Every structure is written in C-alpha cells, then in structure tokens.
Structure 1
Amino acid sequence: MSGTAESLLARMLGKKLFVVLWKAHEGAQLGPVLHEHLQFMIDLEKRGVLFASGPLSGTPGDGLSVLRAASMDEAQAIAERDPFVLKGLRTFDLREWTVMEGSIGLTINCSDRSVALA
C-alpha cells in the first residue's frame, strides 16, 4: 500500500467510541450485584449503546467496556449508572477512543438463520 500517511489516514474509519476501564475495589463482593449489572449491560447492548464488554484477566472484578456515546459526558453518565458503581464496588477510568483500523467479520447463513461473528 502506498501513499502518504495523510492519504492513508483520510480513508480510515475515524469512529469515536468511549472505553471504560473498570476497577473493582479490593475485596469487593460482586456476586450479589452481578445479576443487576448483567441486566444493565444487556439493556445497553439491546439499545445499541454497548459495542463490547467483558472481564479482564488478572484481577477479579476488573473489566473493559466500549460505549457508543455522543460525548464524554454522556459516556460518564452511562458508566456512573452501572450497579457495581452505584453500590460502591467499582470505579472506572473513561477514555475517548478513535477506531482507525481493524476488521469485523459477520456470516449470516440464510438456510438456518444462524449468525456467526469472527
């Protein structure tokens, strides 16, 4: 692939998303609130707000979520409504992320209505 950096950048996606890095408080008991947290995240997913989310390896209770939001303030408000945060079990660091490169694979099989994400 040839061209200047500027010409390559001009063709890239440039989609603004927000990354939430969740940090569980030491000794936090997340289990009793897990169902409520999962319902919250599934609701965000169904409304198209949650791009991706899940736990991070290493420290139990830590995680990462990627949100679609119009602004940092909106993403902050969403993260603050997480039940783990509301109950004082987690804190978070919020960062704006610009998606430039990458790929997402999707296969839709019409014969059995199955969908696979790669």
Structure 2
Amino acid sequence: MTEPLTSVPAAEVKEASKAMLQKQLYAIFTTPVAGIGPVLEHLEEHLAFQVQLERDGILYAAGPMWTDAEDAWEGEGLVVIRAASRSAAIRIAQGDPMHKAGAREFRVRPWMINEGSVTLRLDMSSQSFAIV
C-alpha cells in the first residue's frame, strides 16, 4: 500500500499555474489568548495600526472572523498583507498592538492569489463607489 500524496513543491504549483496571477501575499490568522476582554481593550490601537498599514500600502484586506453560525464574534481575525517574505510578514504581525499586548496570538501563512476578481462601481453623478 502506498502512502497518499500529502504535498507537492511550491515550484510545481507555480509552474502548473504560470498563466495565472501568482500574487504572493501573507495571511495572518489572529486568535484571542485569554477571551475577548483583552481583545476589546486593545481594539482601538489595533484598528489604528491596521489603518496605518493600509496607508503604507501593506494591508491588502483585514477583518473579524465570525463564528460558524455567523452570529457572534469571539475575537478572531484575518489580516492579509503584502510583504517581501514570510519573516517580514511575521515582523509586521509582531508590531500589531494586539499581539504586543498578548491579547492575541498569530500564525502567518504564505498565500498565492491565482484566481478571483474585484469589481468596482463608480457612479460619477453621485460621486460614490461600491465594491460589488
């Protein structure tokens, strides 16, 4: 009996998808260490940190992760950033006030975007826009 294949080298995946975008980003999964109380205590400084990452062109997307029932928040979040390497992404995550204070711990995973789309609607008459 042969063992099931559990992984392939990243280079093979890149070669197989070479016609696609292959944009390398980093996903930071962030989870509470001691309940949501400490998370709420550091939320304002965390959001200011996120806004600065956005202004600096580092933040791709971020936000809270709801419970599976979609009716509550237990303090988990997902932050996707642009960085030169996983170690650089870890350094960025370490700078988050939430992580500095010990309210949350994090895990950084490299993530390559290949597929998807973003649609932006711009209404000139009302000077409004929407991501749809």
The TM-score with structure 2 as length reference comes to 0.78
> Tell me, what secondary structure is at the counterpart of 1:10?
coil
> Tell me, what secondary structure is at the counterpart of 1:98?
strand
2:88 aligned residue: 74
Mark the runs of 5 or more structure 1 residues left unpaired by the alignment. 1-5
1:90 aligned residue: 104
Which amino acid in 1 is paired with 2:55? K
Structure 1 stretches of 4+ with a deviation exceeding 4 A read: none
State how far apart, in whole Å, the 2-side matches of 1:76 and 1:13 are.
Answer: 24
1:28–1:57 CA distance, 2 compared to 1 (3 A):
closer
Q: For residues 3-82 of structure 1, what are the structure 2 equivalents within 5 Å?
A: 9-29=17-37, 30-58=39-67, 60-82=74-96
Which amino acid in 1 is paired with 2:122? I
For the aligned residues, what is the CA RMSD? 1.8
Task: Please state if 1:101 is matched with 2:115.
Answer: yes
Identity %: 37
The TM-score with structure 1 as length reference comes to 0.87
1:3 aligned residue: none
